[in-house]
Amino acid sequence: MFNTIGEIILLFTEFLRALPRAWRERQKVYEQLYEIGNASLLMACILSIFIGGVIALQTGPVLVERGLSNAIGGLVGLSMCKELAPVMMSVLIAGRIGSAMTAEIGSMRVYQEIDALRTMNINPVTYLVLPRLIAISIALPTLVVFSVLVGWMGGGLVSVYNHSISITFEAYFNNLSEMVDLKDVLNGLIKSFCFAVIIGLVACQQGFETIGGPRGIGRSVTKSVVNAIVSILILDYFLTRLLLFMDNKP
């Protein structure tokens, strides 16, 4: 495990060293962005509607019973943007995009394509990791903004149309905009940016480490997704602590 962490840190420093060439590689970044968007947008939309909906469904009736129906909007709004959207979208992207990255780089490794790059004096980190890592760190926060908005809608729909909640859209969104600050949304974006870097690094590192044939690729993909999700959930706790600490400082 420590070996893997070391390799990831090493890969990250190589990535940072290659970063000045990012502008030259922008075409590849666009291609990656397009692929990520294509693969995840619809799924993100469906997922977010239901996540927002289920929070309203779980908390709404309880709050209404206690005469706190005007707190539903704020509750859904805050939990969506500070916690659920960043984490759920990251998990989605780890499964959907991280796995594809590992599979692609892994098969390039196994079929000697990466060796071929080396013989042409093309740095595999610049050629493969740089565009992917940049694209994922742009795409994931963007996806989170999208997910937050859709999630709020989902919560609103349930709050209005569920019989045991039945509040108005106005009440829901008034409360939401009262409770949620821009700062809270930024909070979630910072988190998701960190998660994106983790997903990209874990996926690429696992890809490079692949040995053996198709079975080796399968093993790498599984490891990449599991490692990424575990790291996200652990990191989430500590990032939350850190961000709360920063919040409380005047």
Partner 1 sequence: MSTSAPQHTNVGLTVGELHKSFAGVPVLKGIDLTVAPGELFVLMGPSGSGKSVLLRHLIGLEKPDLGEVKINGRSIDDEALRDECRMAMVFQSGALLNSLTVGQNVGLYLSEHRLLPAEEIEQVVAEKLEIVGLKGQEDRPVSELSGGMRKRVAIARALVMEPHLILYDEPTSELDPLSALTIAEEIVELNRRTGATSVVVTHDRDLGLGIADRIGILFDGELLQVGKPEEIRNSNHPLIKKFLGVDFRLTNTNR
Max CA pair span of the chain: 70
Query: Rounded CA gap, 98 and 67, in Å?
Result: 45
Q: How many residues bind partner 1 (CB under 8 A)?
A: 16
Nearest-approach distance from CB 72 to partner 1, in angstroms: 48
Query: Rounded CA gap, 123 and 77, in Å?
Result: 44
Is residue 52 a contact partner of residue 155, using CB atoms and an 8 Å limit? yes
Query: Rounded CA gap, 144 and 190, in Å?
Result: 10
Is residue 103 a contact partner of residue 204, using CB atoms and an 8 Å limit? no
Nearest-approach distance from CB 108 to partner 1, in angstroms: 7
Nearest-approach distance from CB 13 to partner 1, in angstroms: 16
Query: Rounded CA gap, 205 and 182, in Å?
Result: 35
209 binds partner 1 (CB under 8 A): no
- Give the residue among 62, 67, 70, 54 at the shortest CA–CA distance from 164: 62
Burial of 213 (0-12, 13-18, 19+ CB in 10 A): exposed
Q: Count the alpha carbons within 13 Å of 151 in the hemisphere toward its beta carbon.
A: 31
**Closer of 112 and 168 to partner 1 (Cβ):** 112
Per-residue binding letters, 29-48, with partner 1 (x by CB under 8 A): --------------------
Nearest-approach distance from CB 144 to partner 1, in angstroms: 28
**Closer of 156 and 207 to partner 1 (Cβ):** 207
Per-residue binding letters, 7-26, with partner 1 (x by CB under 8 A): -----------------x--
Nearest-approach distance from CB 199 to partner 1, in angstroms: 21
**Closer of 118 and 183 to partner 1 (Cβ):** 118
Segment holding 160, helix H or strand E: helix 130-161
Query: Which residues from 94-153 bind partner 1, rule CB under 8 A?
Result: 104, 107-108, 111-113, 115-122, 127
Nearest-approach distance from CB 121 to partner 1, in angstroms: 6
**Closer of 23 and 238 to partner 1 (Cβ):** 23
**Closer of 117 and 145 to partner 1 (Cβ):** 117
Q: Which amino acid is at 20?
A: P
Interacting residue ranges for partner 1, rule: CB under 8 A = 24, 104, 107-108, 111-113, 115-122, 127
